[in-house]
Amino acid sequence: MADAHTPPAAPAEASTPAAPRQQTIALVDDDRNILTTVSIGLQAEGFATRVYTDGEAALKALLENPPDLAIFDIKMPRMDGLHLLKALREKSSLPVIFLTSRDEEPDEALGLAMGADDYITKPFSQRLLVARIRAILRRSDLARTAPEDTSHADLPEPVVRGRLQLDPARHQVTWDGKPVSLTVTEFLILEAMALRPGVVKSRNQLMDAAYSEDVYVDDRTIDSHIKRLRRKFRAVDPEFGAIDTLYGAGYAFTDG
């Protein structure tokens, strides 16, 4: 009987790297022309987009199915962008960019103080908007996009200072083992202080750590972020006092 013939094994196919996950941007504006223009432009840059013309409907959707970043107009009926941000920040640290008109500068400052990550003034260039989006997404390192294996040498190491632990690779913060939810901007401000405990960081140094160089914020914005940081930590520890104010100089983290 003839020997059974085993066909030669087929050559192994070269593995193809997995395509990067498409990032999603949510747009909230009552101006349908702006929604259409910006959405088409972002899709051409490789982003997926979702659009909402109503703040109340957007809030529900943003909480139930979070995108990677959201862009809010300020002046909208029913729920304007500021109220939308305030409601969102009660439950989410989703990165947010405001689109504002030139006559809304007080709203710009208020929006940043409330936890927005950036603002862009109308009329704006699509190129500038995309650059700002990419900068915030690079900074955010959201937990859902971080690699599961944290043993890689190129991943930033967690920062441990006393009862504080920050994990930049997963954008996670704990105090005494209890999670504290921070926005991208709040995280970067805290990280800048915690990396050198006891060293006073001026407001300008904290601005440089938290914002791209073409974003201007004033001292009051940094002060507002510090107040929000203290409030969030005191929600898990009423005795929290690890962020010191040195009047006229800046702020320091002192639990290191």
Which carries the bigger pLDDT value, residue 237 or residue 216? 237
- Give 19-57 pLDDT, tens digit per residue: 667 899 999 999 999 999 999 999 999 999 999 998 998
Q: Are residues 237 and 134 in the same domain?
A: no
Whether 97 is in a domain gets the answer yes
The total of structural domains in the chain comes to 2
Grouping H, G, I as helix, E, B as strand and the rest as coil, residue 174 is: strand
Model confidence at 154: pLDDT above 70: no
Closest among 248, 236, 39, 206 to 112, alpha carbons compared: 206
Q: 250-253 and 243-246 as β-strands: parallel, antiparallel, unpaired?
A: antiparallel
Whether 5 is in a domain gets the answer no
- C-alpha–C-alpha distance, residues 93 and 116, integer Å: 9
Which carries the bigger pLDDT value, residue 244 or residue 110? 244
Model confidence at 76: pLDDT above 80: yes
Whether 2 is in a domain gets the answer no
Q: Are residues 71 and 115 in the same domain?
A: yes
Instruction: Give CA separation, 63 vs 29, 84, 173, in Å.
Output: 17, 11, 20
Model confidence at 165: pLDDT above 50: yes
The last residue of one of the domains, among 140, 167, 196, is 140
Query: Please, how many CA atoms are within 13 Å of residue 55, restricted to the half-sphere of its CB?
Result: 17
Whether 19 is in a domain gets the answer no
Which carries the bigger pLDDT value, residue 31 or residue 147? 31
Q: Are residues 71 and 96 in the same domain?
A: yes
CATH assignment at residue 79: 3.40.50.2300
pLDDT given at position 137 = 85
Outline where DSSP puts E strands in 24-158: 24-28, 48-52, 69-73, 96-101, 118-122
Q: Are residues 32 and 110 in the same domain?
A: yes
- Give 225-240 pLDDT, tens digit per residue: 898 899 889 999 999 9
Whether 148 is in a domain gets the answer no
- Give 84-142 pLDDT, tens digit per residue: 999 998 888 899 998 877 565 566 667 777 778 887 877 778 887 888 888 788 776 54
The last residue of one of the domains, among 140, 175, 207, is 140
Q: Are residues 31 and 133 in the same domain?
A: yes
In the chain, the percentage of residues whose pLDDT exceeds 70 is 79
Enclosing domain of residue 60 = 24-140
The last residue of one of the domains, among 82, 113, 140, is 140
Q: Are residues 161 and 59 in the same domain?
A: no
pLDDT given at position 100 = 77
